Amino acid sequence: MDLSERVLLCEDSNNIVFIMLEEKIRQFLEDEARSCSMDFGCITAEYMYRMWGSAVAIEDIEKALNVCKKELLYER
């Protein structure tokens, strides 16, 4: 399911923001994998928090990152 389909299924703006954060994290993971040989398991919420200049709450990053990592494990 792509981003537009997932957004259409959401009932409130909080879910839309969370889904957009998931997509941003997924893109970040893909970019990190392309730029170096970093394993997804090595990317933590704290690392992303620092890389994004503290612009997103670490708790939100952690929740979305856990969802993305679970999805990535099932895609393999």
Q: Is pLDDT of 46 > 50?
A: yes
Q: Is pLDDT of 35 > 90?
A: no
- State how many domains the chain has: 1
pLDDT at position 37 is 65
DSSP state of 12: S
Among 4-8, 10-14, 64-68, name the most confident range: 64-68
Q: How large is the greatest C-alpha to C-alpha distance in the chain, in angstroms?
A: 38
* Residue 15 domain boundaries: 3-75
Q: Is pLDDT of 27 > 60?
A: yes
Name the nearest CA neighbour of 20 among 33, 31, 6, 30. Answer: 6
Per-residue pLDDT tens over the stretch 47-73: 989 988 888 889 888 988 988 888 776
